[in-house]
Structure 1
Amino acid sequence: MCRCFAADLDWDAIAARFDVDEDDVNPVALPAPSYNLQPKRTIGIVAEGKDGKRHLTGAYWSLIPAWSTGKELTYPTYNARVESACVKPTFAESAKSMRAIIPASGYYEYHGRRPYYFHAPNDAPLFLAGLFSWWRAPQPQSPAPWLLTATILTCQAVDGPAAVHDRMPLLVPRDMAGTWLDRSIDGAVAGASLMTDMQNGGTELSRNLAFHEVAAFGPEDDGRTLIRPLQQVQPPSLF
């Protein structure tokens, strides 16, 4: 599972990495640097629009399917399991043609109540696989504005990450980013192979992540101190 991550990123570099034109970057909508992004807050996503162009913008982190009558669902939607995203009613339409990449500096997983921070060994950005959906509240008299919403896909944890938690975010391999974002690839038809390939490639990337325990923090805490390795207190010794 992934319910908190850090994003202190150079958005211009992210746009260049995914060939997003300057006119298709929405800097006003992108989140400020944060080391404590939580569900129902704004996160940055890269996605392909119906115009065939890639866009970099902000999204509400908790996917709301277009058919939902309200913004608050009775179950959490900030994560979706890659194994079932193509068949779950909440995520199926998005898995079909609305797939996204969510850039992050790193993410947190909990072992019980103890948080651990996962990141690339060289602190390069991580690219998490996600889904998106457009939603707006039903208001017959005056249509409400559309809200872009998103979820992060998770998969079975392996190796080091599995020692902390049984699930982990699905990472997007560099050579699969184009395929993942391509809306012309129908996930409902190619879903099994597309998701399986993504899971295999993303799992290999996760095996190489560095991680360390950090101090517990609250929902309003922020800053680089959150990712500082927890100082292990050594018991006193008489010898």
Structure 2
Amino acid sequence: MCRDFAMELDWEAVGTGFAIKDIDLDNLPIPTFSVVPHQTIGVIAQGRDGNRHLTGGHWSFVPRWSPTMKLRFTTYNARMEAAPHTPTYMEATHSARAIIPASGYFEFNRRTPFYFHDATGAPLSMAGLYSWWRGSSAAPWTLTATILTCYAIEGPATVHNRMPLLVPDDMVDDWLDPFKDGAPQLRAIYEGGKQLSSALDFYEVAPLKGTGPKLIEPVHHQQPLSLF
């Protein structure tokens, strides 16, 4: 599960890293240490013309055929193993895939939050799906997105049984290519992403309040005094 992540990113640097020429700064959110479902997140996608785009999107997936943005179930995460067979995500898994960049993410062990990040400060490339939705033919289009999750392994599994699916650098091109089916790619991305996830640094943080840098400061528990 991933329902809160840090997006303290330089969008122009992100664009350079992914060879993106179209960076929609006007619609990208301001950097923050906490973004939650239904807020605006950065979405990297590739058009059928081969050009990549970085813009802001609504964090909770709405399939194009839905009559309303308010669904009966949550769509900020999609299970990797179920997405190719689920009506909500099936079409996007095949041809509308994205990268959701993050500087780190929070995961909870019961009510205790932990922060996961790359020790080098490199952005995380979380696998996502996207959809364009509008309520009527006269309404503007809204970009919506979800983050794919997978079974947690090693360190992350000590906190939660799910984790974001991370896309290795050498698999980004195929993942973003709308002409290549995403379903057959998922297993290889999971295997490659496990190595990235197991290498992440993580530590306990204080209860999540606000959006400032204190959110990612580690909690240091004092040892009780001993008389002996």
Residue 204 of structure 1 aligns with an amino acid whose one-letter code is Q
Q: CA deviation at 1:100?
A: 0.2
Structure-1 residue corresponding to 2:48: 50
Aligned positions, number = 228
Structure-1 residue corresponding to 2:213: 224
Structure-2 residue corresponding to 1:151: 146
Residue 225 of structure 1 aligns with an amino acid whose one-letter code is K
Structure-2 residue corresponding to 1:235: 224
Structure-2 residue corresponding to 1:112: 110
Structure-1 residue corresponding to 2:9: 9
Give the Cα separation in 2 of the matches to 1:65 and 1:134: 8
3-state SS of paired residue (1:150): strand
In the alignment, structure 1 segments of 5+ residues that lack a partner are: none
Give the aligned CA root-mean-square deviation in angstroms: 1.0
Structure-2 residue corresponding to 1:33: 31
Q: CA deviation at 1:17?
A: 1.1
3-state SS of paired residue (2:227): coil
Q: CA deviation at 1:150?
A: 0.3
Give the Cα separation in 2 of the matches to 1:200 and 1:145: 39
Give the Cα separation in 2 of the matches to 1:64 and 1:99: 14
Give the Cα separation in 2 of the matches to 1:123 and 1:237: 38
For residues 45-95 of structure 1, the C-alpha deviation after alignment (integer angstroms, 9 at most, x for no partner) is 110123321000000000000011111101000000111111101100110
3-state SS of paired residue (1:3): coil
Structure-2 residue corresponding to 1:206: 197
3-state SS of paired residue (2:84): coil
Structure-1 residue corresponding to 2:185: 194
Structure-2 residue corresponding to 1:181: 176
Q: CA deviation at 1:119?
A: 0.2
For residues 127-156 of structure 1, the C-alpha deviation after alignment (integer angstroms, 9 at most, x for no partner) is 1000000000136xxx11000000000000
Taking structure 2 as the reference length, the TM-score comes to 0.98
3-state SS of paired residue (1:90): helix
Taking structure 1 as the reference length, the TM-score comes to 0.93
Structure-to-structure mapping, 1:68-107, within 5 angstroms: 68-107=66-105
3-state SS of paired residue (1:196): helix
3-state SS of paired residue (2:66): coil
Percent same amino acid among aligned pairs? 52
CA contact (8 A) 2:102 2:123 kept: yes
Give the Cα separation in 2 of the matches to 1:149 and 1:51: 21
Give the Cα separation in 1 of the matches to 2:125 and 2:12: 15
3-state SS of paired residue (1:92): helix
Spell out structure 1 runs of 4+ moving beyond 6 A.
none
Give the Cα separation in 2 of the matches to 1:122 and 1:207: 14
3-state SS of paired residue (1:128): strand
Give the Cα separation in 2 of the matches to 1:111 and 1:138: 41
Give the Cα separation in 2 of the matches to 1:20 and 1:222: 27
Residue 64 of structure 2 aligns with an amino acid whose one-letter code is A
Residue 158 of structure 1 aligns with an amino acid whose one-letter code is I
In the alignment, structure 2 segments of 5+ residues that lack a partner are: none
3-state SS of paired residue (1:44): strand
Q: Which moved more, 1:75-84 or 1:229-238?
A: 229-238
